[in-house]
A = this chain, B = another copy of it.
Amino acid sequence: MEPGHIEGTEAAPKHAHSGQDCRLVGTVLARIGDKWSVLVVMMLADGPRRFNELKRMIGGISQRMLTFTLRGLERDGLVTRTIFPTIPPRVDYELTELGRSLREPIQALGAWAFAHLPEIQEARARFDRREGEKP
């Protein structure tokens, strides 16, 4: 399977809130949790962007991964892909309504991460120090 493609279409749950839902929700969280997907969604928060524009903004993503990530987001209905048949070709990516509804919880998470960054860094440093003085 290619990166960015997440399973979860087969075996729909029959009962509301069955144990199986967990796995399905898991496939959704897998996409949300994906490092690149999150970054792309954040980059698209302010409006449509072009392929290479996104690539530059993110910096550190390969064209391959960006392609797969965008495909995945498109597949999940979070992003639309608009092709302008010009020369040179131009493709715009934009959040759908669903994608926009995701901004809020994602930014809450981002805010949390940003707010507690110092704490976490400190905890990591402390842990690694204790770790290092053992042997």
Instruction: Show the binding face of A for B, using Cβ within 8 Å.
Output: 8-9, 12, 21-26, 28-30, 32-35, 38-39, 60, 74-77, 98, 101-102, 105-106, 108-114, 116-117, 119-128
Contact = CB atoms under 8 A, between A and B. Distances in A.
A1 to B, nearest CB: 13
Contacts of A119: 77, 98
Interface of A is mostly: helix
Contact of A123 (B35, B75, B108, B121): B75
Given A108-B108, A113-B28, A117-B25, A9 B125 contact: yes
Contact of A75 (B75, B108, B127): B127
Nearest to A111: B105
B77 A113 contact: no
Contact of A113 (B12, B32, B113): B32
A5 to B, nearest CB: 10
Nearest to A102: B112
Contacts of A30: 35
Most buried by B among A21, A105, A113: A113
